[in-house]
Amino acid sequence: MSSNYLLKVLQKYHGLIDVTTKVPVRDRYSLSLVYTPGVGQACMEIKKNVNEVLSLTNKANSIIIITDGSAFPVKSDQANFHMLPFIETLAVFYKQVYNIDAYPMVLDREKDENLEDVLDAIYNLSPAYAGFELYGFDPIRIEKLMALWDKKPIQAAVLNSIDRELIEKNVNIITKSDPAKTGAIIAGLIRAALDLGVYQRFSSEVIARYLEEITSDKYIEVLRSDNLYNLAKSAVLVAAKNLIGANLATVKMTPEQVRDKLDTFYLEGQEGWVKHTALDYMSLMNTIEENSIELHRAHGGVTSVETKVPIKDPSFFKEILNAENQREVSEKIIADPAFAYDSTCKGNLCAIISNGTAVLGFGDIGAEAGLPVMEGKSVLFKQLAGVDVMPICIREKDPKKVIEVISRFAPSFAAINLEDIKAPDCFEIEKTLIDKLDIPVFHDDQHGTAVVCTAAFLNSLKLLGKKPEEVKVVINGGGAAGISITELMLHAGAKNVVVCDTKGAIYKGRPTNMNPFKDYIASISNPNNEKGDLPEILKGADFFIGVSVAGALKPEWIKNMNEKPVIFALANPIPEIMPEEAKKAGAFIVATGRSDFKNQVNNSLVFPGLFRGAIDIRARKITMRMKMAAAIGIASLIKEQDLNPDFIIPGALDPQVPLLVAKKVAEAGIEEGVARKIVNPELVAENLKYFMVHGRFNYEKSLNDFPPKKPNL
- pLDDT at 37 (0 to 100): 87
Residue 707 has pLDDT above 50, yes or no: no
| pLDDT 10s digits, 543-564 | 999 999 999 999 999 999 999 9
CATH superfamily for domain 1-155+284-308+345-439 = Malic enzyme, N-terminal domain (3.40.50.10380)
| pLDDT 10s digits, 133-159 | 999 999 999 999 999 999 999 999 999
Residue 352 has pLDDT above 60, yes or no: yes
| DSSP conformational letter for 619 | B
- pLDDT at 642 (0 to 100): 96
Q: How would DSSP label each residue in 235-260?
A: HHHHHHHHHHHTT---S---HHHHHH
Q: How confident is the model at residue 414 (pLDDT cuts 50, 70, 90)?
A: very high
- pLDDT at 344 (0 to 100): 96
Euclidean distance between the first and final Cα of the chain, in Å?
46
- pLDDT at 446 (0 to 100): 93
Burial of 634 per CB tally in 10 Å (0-12, 13-18, 19+): buried
Residue 367 has pLDDT above 60, yes or no: yes
Residue 2 has pLDDT above 50, yes or no: no
Provide the sign of the torsion angle of the four alpha carbons 577, 578, 579, 585, taken in this order: negative
Closest CA to 675 of 700, 710, 635: 710
Among the residues of 139-248, which ranges form H helices?
A: 139-148, 161-175, 179-196, 204-214, 220-224, 228-245
Residue 220 has pLDDT above 80, yes or no: yes
Is the fold of 1-155+284-308+345-439 the same as that of 447-601? yes
Closest CA to 165 of 152, 144, 182, 188: 182
Cβ atoms of 684 and 637 within 8 Å: the answer is: no
Q: ∠328-333-335 over CA atoms, to 5°?
A: 95
| DSSP conformational letter for 696 | S
Residue 249 has pLDDT above 90, yes or no: yes
Q: What is the distance of C-alpha 358 from the center of its chain?
A: 16
- What predicted TM-score, i.e. pTM, was given to this entire model? 0.94
Q: How confident is the model at residue 372 (pLDDT cuts 50, 70, 90)?
A: very high
* Average pLDDT estimate for 684-689: 94
Return d(Cα 658, Cα 640) in angstroms, integer: 20
Greater model confidence, 422 or 310: 422
Give CA separation, 20 vs 24, 312, 376, 629, in Å.
9, 20, 11, 28
| Radius of gyration for the chain, computed over Cα atoms and rounded to the nearest angstrom | 26
* Average pLDDT estimate for 413-425: 95
| Residue 474 CB neighbours (<10 A) | 26
Residue type, 188: G
Across 588-701, the runs of DSSP E, i.e. the strands, are 589-592
Return d(Cα 390, Cα 495) in angstroms, integer: 40
| pLDDT 10s digits, 521-542 | 999 999 999 999 999 999 999 9
Return d(Cα 658, Cα 606) in angstroms, integer: 7
Greater model confidence, 713 or 578: 578
Return d(Cα 65, Cα 58) in angstroms, integer: 16
Return d(Cα 201, Cα 195) in angstroms, integer: 15
Cβ atoms of 429 and 402 within 8 Å: the answer is: yes
Specify whether the backbone of 508 is left (phi greater than 0), alpha (psi in -120 to 50) or beta: beta
Per-residue burial over 244-256, b if 16 or more Cβ lie within 10 Å, else e, is: beeebbeeebebe
Q: How confident is the model at residue 315 (pLDDT cuts 50, 70, 90)?
A: confident
Return d(Cα 667, Cα 421) in angstroms, integer: 30
Greater model confidence, 196 or 315: 196
- pLDDT at 709 (0 to 100): 47
Return d(Cα 94, Cα 65) in angstroms, integer: 10
Greater model confidence, 128 or 284: 128
Residue type, 605: L
- pLDDT at 103 (0 to 100): 98
- Percentage of residues of the chain with pLDDT beyond 90: 84
- pLDDT at 73 (0 to 100): 79
Return d(Cα 555, Cα 581) in angstroms, integer: 7
- pLDDT at 5 (0 to 100): 83
- Residue 136 sits at φ, ψ, to 5 deg, of 70, 25
Residue 674 has pLDDT above 80, yes or no: yes
Closest CA to 95 of 293, 274, 310: 310
Question: Omega into 424 within 30° of 0, i.e. cis?
Answer: yes
- pLDDT at 712 (0 to 100): 43
Q: Which residues pair with 133 in a beta bridge?
A: 65, 159
Return d(Cα 135, Cα 91) in angstroms, integer: 12
Average pLDDT value for the chain:
93
List Cβ<8 Å contacts ≥24 apart for 648-651. Answer: 648/456, 648/459, 648/460, 648/463, 648/589, 648/591, 648/599, 649/452, 649/455, 649/456, 649/459, 649/591, 649/599, 649/600, 649/601, 649/605, 650/605, 651/28, 651/600
| Residue 205 CB neighbours (<10 A) | 10
SS3 282: coil
- Percentage of residues of the chain with pLDDT beyond 70: 96
Question: Omega into 127 within 30° of 0, i.e. cis?
Answer: no
Provide the sign of the torsion angle of the four alpha carbons 687, 689, 695, 701, taken in this order: negative
| Residue 143 CB neighbours (<10 A) | 12
Q: How would DSSP label each residue in 40-86?
A: HHHHHHHHH-GGGHHHHSSGGGEEEEEE--TTS--S-SSSSGGGHHH
Cβ atoms of 443 and 418 within 8 Å: the answer is: yes
Strands 101-106 and 62-67: parallel
Cβ atoms of 632 and 641 within 8 Å: the answer is: no
Q: How confident is the model at residue 74 (pLDDT cuts 50, 70, 90)?
A: confident
H helix or E strand, kind and range, residue 694: helix 681-694
Residue 246 has pLDDT above 80, yes or no: yes
Cβ atoms of 451 and 610 within 8 Å: the answer is: yes
H helix or E strand, kind and range, residue 536: helix 534-537
Return d(Cα 381, Cα 296) in angstroms, integer: 18
604-705 maps to CATH 3.40.50.720: yes
Give the full edge-to-edge strand order of the sheet including 441-443.
388-393, 349-354, 415-418, 441-443
Residue 313 has pLDDT above 90, yes or no: no
Cβ atoms of 95 and 306 within 8 Å: the answer is: yes
Greater model confidence, 378 or 711: 378
- pLDDT at 298 (0 to 100): 94
Q: How confident is the model at residue 713 (pLDDT cuts 50, 70, 90)?
A: very low
Return d(Cα 212, Cα 190) in angstroms, integer: 17
Among the CATH numbers 3.40.50.2300, 3.40.50.150, 3.40.50.1000, 3.40.50.720, which is that of 447-601?
A: 3.40.50.720
The residue ranges of every structural domain in the chain are: 1-155+284-308+345-439, 163-253, 447-601, 604-705
Closest CA to 311 of 157, 125, 434, 180: 180
* Average pLDDT estimate for 650-678: 96
Return d(Cα 103, Cα 357) in angstroms, integer: 24
Return d(Cα 207, Cα 217) in angstroms, integer: 18
| pLDDT 10s digits, 424-476 | 899 999 999 999 999 999 999 999 999 999 999 999 999 999 999 999 999 99
Q: What is the distance of C-alpha 443 from the center of its chain?
A: 12
Across 301-399, the runs of DSSP E, i.e. the strands, are 303-307, 349-354, 388-393
